[in-house]
Amino acid sequence: MILFTRLFNKLPFAGTILVPLLFFACKTHPPAPTVDEVMPAAYQKLTNPFIQDAAAIAAGEKIFMANCVSCHGIHADGNGPAAMALPVKPANFLDQSVLPKHTNAYLFWRISEGKPGTAMPKWKGAMDEKERWQVVSYLRKLESDHQNHK
């Protein structure tokens, strides 16, 4: 802070010029999507071998409770304890504009590789493929439960 004040005192115009410039730059140039934003072909063709499989859904729920609730919240509404501190909020899986628009392949890809520019970690190293599909099955179960309760 002291350093900044000194700098601003020495360069009286620095603040008036730089601050609006920075603001402008942030507003007009959102981070460019990385190459990773395009789902690789290898993922695109994948299908969930465990869809609507009760055992897989139960296993997926355990995985979700152990690994995902800190950010996505115990109710999967994006309100986990860590969410507050994150600039990009964790996905709210109860929001009807999230899960219904995604394919299983997309969900598997995001869980496997993370989401660049957000805190969403990649789980590829921590979970095997079966476990990642089990979480996808659990997310689909949440989606259909929520739709049925509407």
Residues that bind ligand HEC (CB under 6 A): 64, 67-68, 70-72, 82, 86, 88, 90-91, 98, 107, 110-111, 115, 118-121, 123, 135
Q: How many CA atoms lie within 13 A of 113 on its CB side?
A: 18
Six-digit token string for 124: 């590829």
Tokens 């700098």 -> residue: 7
Side chain identity at residue 81, one-letter code: P
Nearer CB in complex with ligand HEC: 2/38: 38
Nearer to ligand HEC (CB atom), residue 8 or residue 112:
112
Which is closer to ligand HEC, CB of 115 or CB of 146?
115
Q: First CA to last CA across the chain, in angstroms?
A: 51
Nearest-approach distance from CB 8 to ligand HEC, in angstroms: 34
**Contact by Cβ (8 Å): 138, 111:** no
Closest distance to ligand HEC from the beta carbon of 114 (Å): 8
Minimum distance, C-beta of residue 86 to ligand HEC, in the bound complex (Å): 5
Q: Please identify, using beta-carbon distances, which residue of 50 and 64 lies nearer to ligand HEC.
A: 64
Nearer residue to ligand HEC within complex by CB, 105 or 119? 119
Q: Closest separation between CB of residue 54 and ligand HEC, Å?
A: 19
Helix axes 54-67 and 129-148, enclosed angle (nearest 10): 100
Contacts of 94 (CB under 8 A, 6+ apart): 75, 76, 77, 142, 146
**Least CB distance from residue 123 to ligand HEC, whole Å?**
5
